[in-house]
Chain A
């Protein structure tokens, strides 16, 4: 199909994260993850539960179908595990450790970020994916400065209680889709977006990354494009978050 933007390919790739999730709470953080989750619910994942970003669960028509204040999220939704969060990341390493806390030495950071937020609890309790709007060596680093989201190596080191429900699933960036099915749970490419080369990705990643024999990320269907363009994001905000 002609005229499909990178942002549209990416949004469909985020939607694909939720395929087969069933009747769980999808918690997308940020614009593209939210569009992706709503696209999934409007097409192949109709049972997903989605919050309005405040205290309500809302169905596809915007009707309030439930109450989910922050306390309930932390007390039961996260520990109960029927949830798939898509968080942002200031840094990610090859084993899926993620940082949203601070850059530099934690005692006196060069840049204070959000803090660890719910990342430690999310990553040891339920499926977690990440969204990176600009794939670069600043984000994909050899070692993250603060482990907020727990990667596969640190979950293993922390023992069975940390590993039992640990499920760092995938990373979607503006260049491709990645998982942690490489040797020792190293990150590896699942697909690259049409027009992206393995060299582009390797150059933008601060650690060795297997990009061999990787297919293109699938294009949106006509129906997905219609939903995205006419229903979910008629103002085209997606193109402001994904520029290349």
Chain B
């Protein structure tokens, strides 16, 4: 038992509740929300060290033993994601300070932001299927409000679609939970995994597994991504960035959890289908990224390509594939927030999202331009930067499991991603400067700071990849050996220790 495990859920939740009381005191709201996110990031660091030293950390909520109560579990995979989520949440919050506007700040922006983080952290930490559903809903309801907050025409229109698609996928989630409960009689991940291993994964269970694939695929924008480009281009930049960085990643996390812990017995069916869906996602996302001449659309389609690529690692289910996926997932959380923030800043400065109306921005904004260049290279996976190692490992994993086509498509779409992002760079930053500094619609002053922070992180993560190599290896081991997780959750209560 370790009470620290639940802190990343409790801290933002309590902070959000307190901030509801102080809706008019903006200074306090800013300070308090930033410190709450920093505190949960700090807890994630401590958890990382504890997991490294003592193995998976578990909290049986209320002292009820594992299958009967709700278990909160922090293994290396979730701790790494927690830490990267907190870092990105902090930088997006800093960006929001400068850009979100007094109107939204007065209407409970910060509490909802913290509730969103609560839902995300809860989804990463929970060890129970229905609790995962509840955490999803906490996250989703906050995201509905953040998406529609402000009430402009485009936001209202897109929130209708976003809410509808998520209400339906939540219904599907509940259906899948009901079927699974009928077949296995439990909802605890570790216990589910034990029961599936005992009884064998028959056709019915594989069907339920595919239903989960559809549910989480909808959330993660894996093939069922048709809601994403519209929804993610509607809200203000800071909110779009945190959505792109975290919301789809929670779906990805849930896919990893279910398909490595519970439904890992029929990989030739489930993982093969994940591979096909991943390949289709990469291709369709890359086509979308190339097709548009609009910054927002190109960047949101790039979010989709990343999802497909991470899934390729899961589909391979080899050690290298898993390690690559974890590296790439951490990188993807950082880089998606970074490029959306960069794109949003360009749109804010120029007052338009159309590539053909912008040119020669590098003369007035050299710093922004070179950071965009670094982010673009990192996104495509150029060696010294953070996207490289993940791509190498995922490609190696797919080749090892003889999914050559999958690795090939991954490499090919990397080229298309590089083309799409360089299209932005060359059109926006090169060429004749058509807008002088005085004619610009906004100023990048203050917005550059969080962007510089994230750029620094993507460079550090690329050069210093060795620093987290040990943690990533432990996380990949944990994903490939479900027995470690089960022992930590169930074993503890069976031997009655503490």
Specify whether A and B are partners.
Answer: no
User: Chain A residues in contact with chain B, CB under 8 A?
Assistant: none
User: Chain B residues in contact with chain A, CB under 8 A?
Assistant: none
